[in-house]
Structure 1
Amino acid sequence: MPETPADKKKMINRLKRAEGQLRGIQKMIADDKACADVMTQLSAVRSSIDRAMGLVVAQNLRNCFENPDADPNDQSKKLDEAINMVIKK
């Protein structure tokens, strides 16, 4: 997770924007907007969420390298978990 208060604030703001986009998409659907327009907005939300996920994983990896565990097996396990988060998509 983001470590500094500034990083946390940025992540929360990013997620709030995505939340706002989702509310906008709900309104578009309720207003019978064109399918292509809805899909464009859904794609934008997906990209935004993918980016947020990438930032969380990057912070996790950065933390693993900057603050390694004393046990190399634990360190390897944490790195594998981070990589699997990215691949799992």
Structure 2
Amino acid sequence: MDYDDQVKNRVKRIEGQVRGLLKAMDEGKECRDVVNQMSAARNALDRAIALIVSRNLEKCIREEEEPGESTEDNIKEAVNLLVKSR
């Protein structure tokens, strides 16, 4: 699977958020600040997951599909990936 620069940049920003989170913890920041940073990182990951799945859903379905096979199972799997990520 190929991932474009936009997706990679999102992950790099998330990496920066996690580093900021660790720094806040090392500095003994307030619980509220640490939890807010965790929530922001989690939300960014959720958006990145949704972007990857949505961009690649059609391609994945077509690659997995056997001639005459229903795409329903592959669509369900993609939806389950999104649900599981929460």
Query: TM-score range with shorter-chain normalisation?
Result: 0.7 to 0.9
Q: Does the 8 Å CA contact 1:18/1:48 hold for their aligned counterparts?
A: yes
Consecutive unaligned residues of structure 1, counting only runs of 5 or more, are none
2:68 to 68, 71, 82: 71
- Detail structure 1 runs of 4+ shifted over 2 Å in the superposition: 60-65, 67-73
2:43 to 42, 47, 51: 47
1:57 aligns with 2:53: yes
Residue number in structure 2 paired with 1:37: 33
Output the TM-score relative to the length of structure 1. Answer: 0.79
- Could you say if the C-alpha distance between residues 26 and 64 of structure 1 is closer, same or farther in structure 2, counting changes exceeding 3 Å? closer
Number of residue pairs aligned between Structure 1 and Structure 2: 83
Superposition RMSD on alpha carbons, in Å?
A: 2.0
Is 52-61 or 16-25 further displaced after alignment? Answer: 52-61
2:77 to 67, 71, 81: 81
> What is the alpha-carbon distance in structure 2 between the residues aligned to residue 60 and residue 37 of structure 1?
35
1:20 aligns with 2:12: no
